[in-house]
Chain A
């Protein structure tokens, strides 16, 4: 058997050697993919609904009669791998939606088409939300078009506020803490009650505090990213996070995120008077507890100074065009329509999403319950638009930062310093 084993191993190694041109090379098949008048667009689940995308498609087909458009809805689970493999294949989708925190990585990868030359012709390009545009830029080029946005404000139970004698929502962090005391007193009988249920890993809610005190996650100096968490502003923000989280939220919440337990359920069950959430969570809360219909209010997360809120974190997506697509012109046309004011507003009204440009934010005034979300979007900031940010998210660096600060086992400055060095490595990593 030994001889056979040696022989077979030799054959196997030869095969490996021959195939060892590398995965990259083998992916380089001829890109003369034939266009068959079909456009494939990938959108993410739970966002743009079919009626809206159908309307866009109908308009597209007026410009390009005879073309079919396949809109494929993708899952969030494993989407990064799916996008990467799709872009590496011989038949990638023509246009694809990418989360705004992931898009920087794809922009730098060479898989998306550089749209700088047509940027000025894209609708509303002069006032796109910075949080969506920033990550889509790389080395001076634009690689994706802002598509949709979302942010978070404080959602509160009006009944509970009334019971605690709070007449109007707090407009400063100190007032928030005072209101928290009032709520604690009013609901002292409720087991494990949190005036504001704030999961320790919830970095979307934590970042605003860093920004409110003038800090940043990281700053690009001289072409290199440097972690900024040890700056006075950032440290002040992190300390405030610890104070607020520890005072207003139960100890068990320090090392979890919003899903375990589901924070909407916590509020719906009466275990909390406030949470920090997005517009889509309102519906989830009332469907869990019908009695709360009409009882939910919102206010923008306050800042240290009375009257000035904390800058909000803008989440959302961009839409890019695959470099290897044979239908780049048509894909661009579809994208132009989707990001046009007309269909953006349709999307806002139908799907509860936020539009991609500041000039369109005024539509929020006409929407019930959405006013504060739009108000918050006027003062926003975003995560470092580095290709390495994807790794920061994959490695849950921000979750660890905020939960460790909340747990308080170590000095805030120590935690900030070690996170900074991680950021220095990850944000500058050779891609």
Chain B
């Protein structure tokens, strides 16, 4: 973005660019190290993982942990469950939050600011405190042990902050653009869709990834709400590797590696859209 603009013509600029690159590499190494350790362990047999001298490369390379992990009961079922729950959550959250963010930003809506404050307050309540009352209300609504119940929970938990972040992005898009579109004969809905939405896309991406990860990784609510093995999501299944006496570390690490895979794939697909269309010169006077 800016690097190409400012250019690397002068010697100082060139040195700086190499400095930035070096810093980036160091950062990547530190950031990735624990992940690399997890993946490294997932290809090692259990004895090797917990031995005295750590090995930085899987000396006794084995696929056993992965085979073992995917072979455990309910893996595919719970994977499917996680996908259903999380994709629904993300889609719902983004739609509802985008509409809400637009409503409180683009219109003079009575109570909008109060609404914003209240949902931020909601965000302040420790989640552990909410588990039991939430469980009871879902029980009353007969939504226990159902996908709808869990999806609704995740949506409600990630909505507040998503609305806030999207609000920031919506406010960053100049009103003029939409007005221009309206003058050109667009409907208001069309203006949202054709102008606002693409420009807010980067915000939608980062909040979408956040909701994805939050819902994908949650153990507490999924464990309490889903009562049957066939309804579990992946994090609950993951903890099957820990009995009260022994931990199958290899299997656990392999499962975690597999577990993180869909998120990474999802991100790789959407990360290009992280850059806004604004800088491509779409702004018209």
Q: Which of A's residues lie within 8 Å of B, judged by CB?
A: 1, 4-5, 7-8, 12, 23, 26-27, 29, 44-46, 70, 72-73, 75-78, 81-82, 84-86, 88-91, 93, 259, 261-262, 264-265, 268-269, 271, 278, 280-281, 284, 287-289
Q: Residues of B within 8 Å of A, CB-based: how many?
A: 38
Q: What separation, in Å, do the CA atoms of A85 and B132 have in the docked complex?
A: 7
Name 28 A/B residue pairs within 8 A (Cβ), A-sorted: A1-B114, A4-B112, A7-B111, A7-B114, A23-B136, A26-B140, A27-B139, A29-B139, A45-B240, A70-B228, A72-B227, A73-B240, A76-B243, A77-B223, A77-B239, A78-B219, A81-B131, A88-B136, A89-B139, A259-B247, A261-B50, A262-B246, A262-B247, A265-B47, A265-B51, A269-B51, A280-B245, A280-B246
B224 contacts chain A at the CB level, 8 A cutoff: yes
Known contacts A89-B139, A261-B50, A265-B51; A75/B240 CB under 8 A: yes
B114 touches A8 (CB 8 A): yes
**B257-279 vs A: 1/0 string, CB under 8 Å?**
00000000000000000000000
Q: Is the CB of B47 within 8 A of A288?
A: yes
A contact residues around B240 at 8 Å (CB): 45, 73, 75
In the bound complex, CA of A90 to CA of B140 (Å): 8
In the docked arrangement, what's the CA distance between A159 and B137, Å? Answer: 60
Q: B75 → chain A, closest Cβ, in Å?
A: 14
Check A89/B135 contact, CB under 8 A, given A72-B227, A262-B50. yes
B245 lies within 8 A of A46 (CB): yes
| Cβ–Cβ contact B229 & A72, under 8 A | yes
What is the minimal beta-carbon distance from A327 to any residue of chain B, in angstroms? 16
B14 contacts partner chain A, Cβ-Cβ < 8 Å? no
Is A76 a contact of B242 with CB atoms below 8 Å? yes
The distance in angstroms between the C-alpha atoms of A75 and B52, with both chains bound, is 29
Contact for B229 among A23, A73, A77, CB less than 8 A: A73
Residues of A within 8 A of B84 (CB): none
- Is B113 engaged at the interface, CB distance under 8 Å to the other chain? yes
B91 in contact (CB, < 8 A): no
A-facing residues in B213-256 (Cβ within 8 Å):
219-220, 223-224, 227-229, 236, 239-240, 242-247
* Inter-subunit contact A278/B245 (CB<8 Å): yes
Closest-by-CB residue of A relative to B145 is A91
Q: CA A277 – CA B85 in complex, angstroms?
A: 41
Q: Across the interface, which residues of B come within 8 angstroms of A46, CB to CB?
A: 243-246
In the bound complex, how far is the Cα of B51 from the Cα of A81, in angstroms?
Answer: 34
Chain B residues in 8 Å Cβ range of A261: 50
A contact residues around B115 at 8 Å (CB): 8
A23 touches B247 (CB 8 A): no
Q: How far is B245's CA from A44's CA once the two chains are assembled, in angstroms?
A: 12
Residues in B neighbouring A4, C-beta threshold 8 A: 110-114
CB distance from B136 to the nearest CB of A (A): 5
Cα–Cα, bound, A70→B46 (Å): 33
Chain B contacts for A278, CB-based, 8 A: 245
A41, chain B: closest CB distance, angstroms: 12
What residues of chain B lie closer than 8 Å to A287, measured between beta carbons?
Answer: 46-47
Given known pairs A77-B242, A85-B224, the reply for A289 and B47 (CB within 8 Å) is yes
* B129 shortest CB reach to chain A, Å: 11
Cα distance, A255 to B139, chains bound together (Å): 42
